[in-house]
Amino acid sequence: MILGIHHTAISTPDFERAVAFYRDLLGFEEMMNGGWPKGIESIDRLIGLRDSSARMAMLKLRNAMLEIFEFASPAPKPGDPDRPVNDCGLTHICLHVSGIDDEYQRLRNAGMRFHSPPLDAGPTRCCYGRDPDGNVIELLEFTRPDDPLRL
């Protein structure tokens, strides 16, 4: 029986920067920090890589976990910090917020790039921005307290 989604994982070229962004700017709590050296065969089998080594952290924000990886080996291909959300793969992480206009301004003042200011989208207001590696983060505020999709 599947109980729910536990976490989403992101690979980054700059571990400290990514952890600081999600922890210090977005308010995630660091639950675990570790990694593994090259040569652990069971991990290589698990993740489908050869001679892997990485740093990792598990972060938590209310009901969601986020896992951050920085692989030292094998060397990752560089990401596109402007990858369009219509390309196949992970498209975005959505954060449920209150006071979306203030949160948008706070994050924008801290240097986060946004596609647009918050827009009205029926029973919600939302906007898309990007983390330091270009991963898309949606800010979502419900305008109706009885919305069934509200957490």
Check residue 44 and give its pLDDT. Answer: 94
Which residue shows structure tokens 């069971």?
42
7-73 fold: 2,3-Dihydroxybiphenyl 1,2-Dioxygenase; domain 1 (3.10.180)
Pairing mode, if any, of strands 7-11 and 64-73? parallel
pLDDT at 1 over 90: no
Distances (CA, A) of 146 to 47, 100, 127, 139: 41, 18, 21, 19
Provide the 10 A C-beta neighbour count for residue 137.
19
pLDDT band for position 28 (cuts 50, 70, 90): very high
Check residue 90 and give its pLDDT. Answer: 85
Topology match between the domains 7-73 and 79-151: yes
- Arch. (CATH architecture) of 79-151: Roll (3.10)
* Domain boundary assignment for the chain: 7-73, 79-151
Distances (CA, A) of 19 to 39, 73, 91, 134: 25, 19, 20, 14
| Residue 59 near residue 30 (C-beta atoms within 8 A) | yes
Pairwise CA distance, residues 77 & 27, whole Å: 29
Mean pLDDT in residue range 108-120 = 96
pLDDT band for position 4 (cuts 50, 70, 90): confident
| Residue 68 near residue 83 (C-beta atoms within 8 A) | no
pLDDT at 151 over 70: no
Helical H runs in 48-143?
100-109
Say which range, 48-52, 67-71, 89-93, has the weakest mean pLDDT.
89-93
